[in-house]
Structure 1
Amino acid sequence: MNTMENLKTKRLIPAIALSIALVGCSAPKATVIRDQIKENIPQNFQPSTPQDTSHNSGATPWRQFFTDPNLVSLIETAITNNQELLITLQQIEIAKSNVGYKKGKLSPFVAAKLGTSLTKAGRYTSEGAGDATTEIEPGKEIPDPLGNFEGGLMANWEIDIWKKLRTEKAAAVAHYLSTVEGKNFVLSNLIEEVANNYYELLALDNQLDILRQYIGLQQKALDISRIQKQAAATTELAVKKFEAELAKSKATEYTIHQQITEKENQINTLLGRYPQEIVRTKDSFMSTIPPPVYTGIPSQLLANRPDIKQAEWELKSAKLDVEAARKEFYPSLEISATLGLEAFKPSYLVKMPESIAAGLVGELAGPLINKSAIKANFQSADARQIQALYEYDKTILNAYLDIANLMSKVKNIAQYYQLKSEETLALDQSIDIANQLFSNARADYLEVLLNQRDALDAKLELIEAKQKQLSTVVDIYKGLGGGWK
């Protein structure tokens, strides 16, 4: 290297260093965020009541939590066939492939190439004039037009000097882990939906049985009223009232039949199959005792609930995206290399070393002017980071409030069910008394009708209370993070 080239190199090195320094100083700073909701989470779900930290129902596998064999079978079918769950599994595969793509960018890209071309330079150009005076061999000029045949390897590698590519890979891994937690959340929701719809179906079955018993009582009351009318002990009005009430109850029966069909199909949809009968045992529904639930402490939600863990991974991924976007302001170093054979005639390709062609290029380039696109990308990543923080905080807060509400609901629904049981027992006794008085003409038909209606409503509400009692336990189990393990 001559003195002039040395001088140019010495001038170029400080210029490159100055460019890197200027670019580094111009890179903006990311917004500093804090997880205040996570830091301030209460110690207990109910401040006045200490919680048992040794038990948490959210850690119980669903096969141990649900004891009804028919329900367990339905859940197993849903886990295998549910379309939403299958779609979520493909989202995991997409995220996994993205991790592989980001990882691949860390390694050199090597490709094989094979090409041919034909060019003709103008006679009065520097290239054409040079070709016209150049001889390949004595007496043989370069062909015109000039062909070119080449084959070999080419490589390109971006050196990760700022760890930008590694940061992008880490962000992809965090997003992949969030999709795994998203699948767990979908699974938890699916189990909750199947269980709740199953209990609602059993409640409809029991309501239908109660309604049929009520129809039988009304039919007896109608028969008695007709006999009394013949004996002039009552009027035609009483007969018509009993006939109308009987017709109304029979119409309600068809409504419940339709609700049962729709509920069965709703369960079949969750199970990913065409309509078919749902196997179930309805006789033991009213005697089913909800399993006990233990809430543990609020901080355990951070480890048990998949939606919270999903939001946490998304927040981490968003933070890494900001870091990667910031490193776009720094220069990038790329190395390109080629090695192969090249000649203007195919037969010359085997003449070596004359036909061997090689090249090695290194480029260090960084943005200096018109960085609006890079700035916009950074600002977008920074905003998504803040948004992810709010989503994370909202998820934690909603999870805490859900458990607090459901704990209160479990206690209140138990008291409600107890009082409804007492009301139903009293009204059943009043029906027998009213029917006896009506048979002996000591009570009018209105008293009989009102007692029957009240008893029917109370029994239907009692069945609904049992369904809510069971569903609330399922909801709090899911709210504690149960169902996906």
Structure 2
Amino acid sequence: MMIGIWLMQACKVNEDNLQVKTQQLPENYPVADTDSTGQPSQWKEYFKDPALLALIDTALINNYDRLQMLQRIEMSHTDLIAAKGNLAPTVDAVVNGSAQHMAEYSADWAGNEGAVYADGSPMRRTIPDYFLGFEAAWEADIRGKLRNEKKAAFSRYLSSVEGAHFVTTNLVAEVAYEYYQLLALDQELEFVEKMLANQEEALEVIQYNMEAGKANQLAVQQFEAQVISSKAQSRRTAQRILETENRLNYLLGRFPQEISRSSNYVMMVDSLAVGSPNDLLKNRPDIREAELMLEASKFDTKAAKAAFYPSLSIGAGVGFQAFNPEFLFRSPTSIAYGLVGQMAAPLINRNAIKAQFEFAKANQVDAIYNYQETVLKGYMEVYNQLTNLQNLQEVVVLKNVQSATLEASIETSKELYRTGKATYLEVLVAQENTLSTQMELIDVQLQEMLTKVNLYRALGGGW
């Protein structure tokens, strides 16, 4: 009868099969060829610069974020071991000693006064008791509560592994990101110093012409101001180089020191196999991490639902027991054993269990939304980087042509100025336009490189 009441109440529990509206991933990216499988390249295959590869190796060993993530994996693994252990019986070695003093007029002493033990010694009001043996306990997982808890722990463990992969992918991308910025700054400093040399040469010509009466003081001052501006820009660039080196050293888990790097800023990555949007589901570690957390939340909900049903626990003990230590090991008369089984289920005031179940369901819905958001974010990141890369590649071509044209205009303006066919202002404008355009070219080339790094990360990276 009681079991029937339990089952009737359990049937009133809300279902754990939650339905949430989902969105279908697009079949492809509008700006990419999806014929390839989209298998992400390993970073050692994708980045070709030996200096960059050495920096990434160091970061993977010393970076503190990654080291902390590896410890979180260990913590998840211990949770899994604990969940597995809950399925097995527990056996404890027990040594127990106690004494009970019975009151003169108590029910315990009534009828015992004048009694004797088996050895003929009189029973006293203070009764010692000694036990040496083993006690075991086991909960029969009749509703799968413990099994679902183990499955949830296993999913969280796998999720932590994917989290580590995500941290690794981001770390590799961040090191490459800072490295290419450092190469761009090196190129910027080199070009500024080159322009500074041209400007100083032009200043000498203007000063000579002023002495010869062919130029005035205003022209000299304009060229001097341009030289001073380039010197200041050189110092600012040098400071940015130092700060970028320190950001790299931070990622590498070490104190400031010079960063070894290539002398030339060149394209050092191959093209990526983009694949289809569905490839993101298996390639991006953050999406797999969210999926595994969703699985864990489902098992948590099933385990919480099982708390409404009866539970069966079994306990047993065996050992030696006596009122006097000298009789403790007199087998078989001192052997004691016991066995107890208990079935219990919540009947009244189940609000705490209901609250836990509702919390588990809400957590599951939250995990569903988090998974969907992560998938949407992954698609958007790839889409944005593909379109950005396409446009930047076109801009780089145009900026290269513009830069080459303006560099040629510097020599043209100098020659025209010497022959009196151009003013000093035209020489100044030619130099300023060339410097500005070259800085823009360096920046666009850098943005192209950083977009390739971001695309590598958005597609899941290689870890």
**When the two structures are superposed, what TM-score results if normalisation uses the length of structure 2?**
0.96
Q: Which amino acid aligns with 1:348?
A: F
**Which protein has the bigger helix share?**
1
The alignment status of 1:321 with 2:300, answered yes or no, reads yes
Aligned 1:55-454 pairs, distance under 5 A: 55-56=37-38, 58-136=39-117, 140-283=121-264, 285-286=265-266, 288=267, 290-454=269-433
Would the aligned equivalents of 2:246 and 2:256 in 1 still touch at CA under 8 Å?
yes
Q: Which amino acid aligns with 1:27?
A: V
Distance 1:217 1:258 in 2: 23
Would the aligned equivalents of 2:46 and 2:269 in 1 still touch at CA under 8 Å?
no
Would the aligned equivalents of 1:225 and 1:238 in 2 still touch at CA under 8 Å?
yes
Distance 1:138 1:343 in 2: 12
Q: Which amino acid aligns with 1:436?
A: E
Structure 1 unpaired stretches of 5+: 1-14
Q: Which amino acid aligns with 1:179?
A: S
Would the aligned equivalents of 2:327 and 2:334 in 1 still touch at CA under 8 Å?
yes
Distance 2:50 2:120 in 1: 96
Summarize deviations over 1:309-328 as a string: whole Å, max 9, x none. Answer: 11111111111111111111
Task: Provide closer, same or farther for how the CA distance between residues 350 and 438 of structure 1 changes in structure 2, counting only shifts above 3 A.
Answer: same
Would the aligned equivalents of 2:136 and 2:317 in 1 still touch at CA under 8 Å?
yes
Task: Provide closer, same or farther for how the CA distance between residues 433 and 23 of structure 1 changes in structure 2, counting only shifts above 3 A.
Answer: same
Q: Which residue in the other structure is 1:5 paired with?
A: none
Distance 2:177 2:393 in 1: 17
Distance 2:120 2:405 in 1: 124
Cα shift at 1:443:
2.9
Aligned 1:18-57 pairs, distance under 5 A: 18-30=4-16, 32-34=18-20, 36-37=22-23, 40-46=24-30, 51-56=33-38
Cα shift at 1:124:
0.3
Q: Which residue in the other structure is 1:471 paired with?
A: 450
Structure 2 counterpart SS, 1:374: helix
Cα shift at 1:478:
1.9
| Aligned residues: CA RMSD | 1.7
Would the aligned equivalents of 1:151 and 1:340 in 2 still touch at CA under 8 Å?
yes
Task: Provide closer, same or farther for how the CA distance between residues 466 and 139 of structure 1 changes in structure 2, counting only shifts above 3 A.
Answer: closer
Cα shift at 1:34:
4.3
Would the aligned equivalents of 2:392 and 2:447 in 1 still touch at CA under 8 Å?
yes
Q: Which amino acid aligns with 1:206?
A: Q
Task: Provide closer, same or farther for how the CA distance between residues 220 and 129 of structure 1 changes in structure 2, counting only shifts above 3 A.
Answer: same
Distance 2:324 2:52 in 1: 77
Task: Provide closer, same or farther for how the CA distance between residues 358 and 447 of structure 1 changes in structure 2, counting only shifts above 3 A.
Answer: same
Structure 2 counterpart SS, 1:43: coil
Cα shift at 1:444:
3.0
Structure 2 counterpart SS, 1:359: strand
Cα shift at 1:115:
1.6
Cα shift at 1:481:
1.6
Distance 2:37 2:129 in 1: 77
Q: Which amino acid aligns with 1:309?
A: R
Structure 1 counterpart SS, 2:143: coil
Q: Which amino acid aligns with 2:426?
A: E
Structure 2 counterpart SS, 1:129: coil
Distance 1:138 1:378 in 2: 58
Distance 1:243 1:107 in 2: 85
Distance 1:419 1:330 in 2: 72
Cα shift at 1:133:
3.0
Distance 1:78 1:139 in 2: 79
Distance 1:458 1:422 in 2: 10
Structure 1 counterpart SS, 2:117: strand
Q: How many residues align?
A: 463
